Amino acid sequence: MLELFSLKDKVAIITGASRGLGRPMAKGLAAAGAHTVLVARDAAKLAEVRDEIIAAGGQATVLPLDLMDEGAIRSGVRRIAGELGRIDISVNNAGIINWQPVLDSDLEDFERIMEVNVKATFIMAQECAAVMRAGGRGGRIINLGSLLSTVGRARLHAYCASKSAIVGLTRAMAAELGRDNITANVIAPGYFVTDINASLTGRPGYIEAVNGVTPMERWGRPEELVGTLIYLASAASGFVTGQVINVDGGIQSSFTFQLAA
């Protein structure tokens, strides 16, 4: 049965592998058997992750690049496909956020968020899908959405727009690439303590406020995304495509009111 979840002999590329949610997810892909290609800007941190994977008996390669550089993404993916002979799994996890009021925000900020969160995801997934199709072995595209793919949040219009776009992009890729046995799905996390929400977790009462609207009454631990990731990356999810899987302690499927009923 465990065979179903094995990524042995597969090649996986994951963005945002230097820290946050991407780091444990990258290690999870490698622990499941995939040769894991680690993408982010910080080459030193990527080398640390690679060394940890290799020390644990896995295989990893670093691919430091800025996701705002289209040419670097395209040439990087092509080089990896040439060197490793295949790409089976594309995990588009890197993302950025910025808090700005709608009426007092600049277009530059909006464009930067869309560029990293959406455009780079598209370019990376497009390049990887071309390699997958040419290999004839199918593949897996897994994009990171958010709780804010579904609901709006004040002062996060660009981030919310980008995370909703991820869902549309993923569903469209699923619709088109299914015939090539390439699936495309979204993992939508709720609240996890990482750098992306460092500006919130330092605010008095914020951690507790999130606990209060989450049925499981706590924040997620980054390692808790690994099981869903391996499921979507492996044969276990062979007929699952175009889906959004919320990993959020139940926050999206419940309505919490401050006063007891």
If one asks whether residue 189 binds ligand NAP (CB under 6 A), the answer comes out as: yes
If one asks whether residue 66 binds ligand NAP (CB under 6 A), the answer comes out as: yes
List the one residue from 140, 191, 241, 245 that touches ligand NAP (CB under 6 A).
191
- Other Cβ atoms less than 10 A from the Cβ of 33: the count is 18
List the one residue from 93, 170, 234, 237 that touches ligand NAP (CB under 6 A).
93
Is 191 an active-site residue? no
If one asks whether residue 164 binds ligand NAP (CB under 6 A), the answer comes out as: no
Per-residue tokens: 24:
């444990």
> Are 181 and 6 within 8 A, CB to CB?
no
Least separation in angstroms between CB 83 and ligand NAP: 20
- Strands ordered across the beta sheet of 59-64: 59-64, 35-40, 11-15, 89-92, 139-144, 182-189, 244-247
If one asks whether residue 42 binds ligand NAP (CB under 6 A), the answer comes out as: yes
Distance CA 234, CA 89 (A): 9
Angle made by CA atoms 235, 191, 241, in degrees to the nearest 5: 25
The DSSP secondary-structure symbol of 117 reads I
If one asks whether residue 35 binds ligand NAP (CB under 6 A), the answer comes out as: no
- The one segment of 29-37, 92-100, 129-137, 206-214 that binds ligand NAP by CB under 6 A: 92-100
Q: Which residues bind ligand NAP (CB under 6 A)?
A: 15-16, 18-22, 40-42, 45, 66-68, 93-96, 116, 144, 146-147, 189, 191-192, 194-197
Q: Catalytic residue numbers?
A: 159
